[in-house]
A and B are shown apart, each in its own frame.
Chain A
Amino acid sequence: MSTSTLAVDGADIHDSHDSHPTNTGVSNVKVMMWVFLSSECLLFGALISTYLLYRGRVVEGPTPHEIYDIPFTSVSSFVLLMSSLTMVLALSALQRRDERRFRIWMVTTAAFGMVFIGGQIYEFTSFMREGLAPSTNVFGSSFYLLTGLHGAHVTGGIIWLLSLVGLSLKGIITPEKAEAVEISGLYWHFVDVVWIVIFTVVYLLPTGTSV
């Protein structure tokens, strides 16, 4: 006679929504998200590399030193950083079964994201007015591609977060479905860490520096 038991590691397996055993012990959706984020590292790594290679090779048009408004970008960077905090507080609230607070923190996170995007749009339009367009020089094209693609990711994240708030109001996102929020949080935090790198490499590093 041989039997084997399902080890639960000190918790009731039925705490998770509709879990069934997986090879890794965690949901496949979560594993998929991490695989996706790993591929996104390659994408942004390629774009950041391209920017670093081109930033010191401006022949005509505005240079980074001439055009960046560091104080302004610092504020929007800070806002995005704090949105990571509110995102994780939203997840924590849902895990503690405080759905009202969860929705408040999620809306706050989305609002911070919108402030960041608003700042990006303002920055892009002011750069255009000062003569830096994507077609002006290689610095311009690599800058707009990198930061524009990041902004598109943030925008997608905002839509995702607000969708979860709507689903929560309908009673579909419940504390039992906290993993869905955790997965959206992974995406949001990734978008934030990419900006941590972009802000330092693109805006703060001395102009003409090749790293």
Chain B
Amino acid sequence: MSTTTATAIPQVHVPTHPGPGKYVFIGVILAVLTGLEIVTSYADIGDNLMILLLLGMAIVKFVIVAAYFMHLRFDIPLFRKLFIMGIAGALGLYAILLASLHAF
């Protein structure tokens, strides 16, 4: 009788991606958001509200592309962590830059 011992390895991740119809639907949402951004930039609503709305819409578009087109929603959590680390690093860099210029 011989035995074989194999080292346990992680499961192979096989993500389930959306179909073409869903991608087109997401594309339409992104197009609508882009249109809203442009309209907002011309609106007479005051700078503070405009900044809030524009940045908010940009963030929503960013998240939609990252989640559905880049498949972050369907892939392993490691990819999400790596991407968020990069974004956090960029925001931290900006904060450090502002602090170094005594902007606070």
Residues of A within 8 A of B (CB): 1-11, 13, 15-16, 19, 21-26, 30-31, 34-35, 37-42, 44-46, 48-50, 52-53, 70-71, 74, 77-78, 81-82, 84-85, 87-89, 91-93, 95, 182, 185-186, 189-190, 192-193, 196-197, 199-201, 203-206, 209-211
Contacts and interface: CB of A to CB of B under 8 A. Distances in A.
A39 B86 CA distance: 6
Given A81-B34, A205-B55, 6 more contacts: A4-B7, A19-B12, A24-B13, A26-B78, A46-B90, A210-B103
B92 to A, nearest CB: 9
Main SS at interface, chain B = helix
Contact of A82 (B31, B66, B76): B31
Contacts of B27: 81-82, 84-85
Interface of chain A, main secondary structure: helix
Interface string B5-41: 1111111111001011001101100110010011011
A92 B83 contact: no
A29 to B, nearest CB: 13
Contact of B55 (A41, A185, A193, A211): A211
A205 B6 CA distance: 58
A26 B75 contact: yes
Contacts of A84: 27, 30, 65, 69
Contacts of A203: 41
Contacts of A210: 103
